[in-house]
A and B are shown apart, each in its own frame.
Chain A
Amino acid sequence: MTNAIDIRSATRTFGRTTALDGVSFAVPEGSICGLLGRNGAGKTTIMSIIAGQDRPTSGRVEVLGHGPFENESVLSRISFVRDNQRYPDNYRLGHVLRIAPEFAPNWNADVAAELAEGFRIPTKTDIKKFSRGQLSSVAIILGLASRAAVTLLDEPYLGLDVTARALFHDMLLRDYTAHPRTVLLSTHLIEESEKLFDRVVVVDRGRVRVDSDVDDARDLAFTLSGTTAAVDELARRHTVLRSHTVSGLKSVTVLGAMDDAVRADADGLGARIAPASLQDLVAAFGEESSESIEEGARA
């Protein structure tokens, strides 16, 4: 399968701050990929670089087989709406919908109209007065109605009510099946969105920690809990990502697949063992202290 997005060893520094530190991952064409990680992990910087709105200090990025920076033929096939997208002061929804097709050759007005109605976006209010949720709705309209080969959705859920989130999922999947494209979506609402993804990339402090098929991500880590002695004994042979102790009881998230041997060991020591959910995994990588392991997980 060809890759729609291919980032190799991308590093981006801003003065003395390293936003991205040797980031490498690829998103296959037609994939809906989740980009997960804490605030400040580097998600928006990664998207900016893919969208050609920024360049890595070193390293390489290819979108649809070409470098996106100042490359009109690639840029016209990418849609990227920042979570803090600004609009001209006097703009209303109608202005945005009229100008959007100028930047999106595959723009579909029906998709835009259906979403605008479903989201109940006010048409007579200036966008600068919109609530957080209404701004997110506008960003989703721009992202989906563009039908761009590469669609980058940066925190599309911010402030969205539950009805709007369901509408977004519904439209994304319906329009995607009719017009397949590559979608990279960043979010903190992991449990709610993980069913949408076929791949996930987890970043923390500018580094890729997980780059995996979503089905394989279940085998990347597991949690052990029980008495401190039992858990310490069980965790000895594993890389601990996160641990939590309360008066003699301990729970840890460790890297690796849960096999029959470790299951039997846990049973023998009276400890509970369970696969780590995607949310556990992201939380664990996000809690890791800076001096701990350098190991990531790839599948």
Chain B
Amino acid sequence: MFADKGPAFQQLAAKIADEIVAGTYPEGTAVPSATDFAVFHQMNPATASKGVNLLVELGALYKKRGIGMFVADGARDLLRSQRREEFRKQYIEPLLREARVLEIDDTELHHMIDEHEEDET
């Protein structure tokens, strides 16, 4: 749902979602208003509202009338499970496609992942 190169409102929603998952905006706390996001990212205010509303529809944010926009309880888990779905599409599928082009078989691919993990640690 939050493709990197989608329309601007989707990109904004993805950025806010990133911050919620990272814990920058903890559950139950306020996030900046759509207007603040618009000025900060130098984007159209209507577009920013659309991006924020995407997360409201998803249930990750909710509006308190007259006060502002807040991170819903369970928003992190909600967004994380959404991302896991995306992970398959965005990373696994292209990985396997490229592996086929380069004639890397499954054993070798698994080996490369293990090797990389060892390098990381």
A interface with B by C-beta (< 8 Å): 30-32, 166, 169-170, 173-174, 176-177, 194-198, 214-215, 218
Contacts and interface: CB of A to CB of B under 8 A. Distances in A.
Contact of A214 (B35, B42, B44, B45): B44
Interface residues of B, number: 14
Contacts of B104: none
B14 to A, nearest CB: 15
A176 B47 contact: no
Given A215-B8, A215-B9, A218-B7, A196 B42 contact: yes
B43 interface: yes
Contacts of A173: 38-39, 42-43, 45
Contacts of A31: 46
B110 interface: no
A195 B45 contact: no
The B interface is mostly helix, strand or loop, or mixed, namely: helix
B100 interface: no
A55 to B, nearest CB: 31
A292 to B, nearest CB: 28
Nearest to A183: B44
Contact of A166 (B42, B43, B44, B46): B42
A270 to B, nearest CB: 11
Query: Could you say which of B7, B9, B44 has the most chain A C-beta atoms within 10 Å of its C-beta?
Result: B44
A76 to B, nearest CB: 25
B39 A198 contact: no
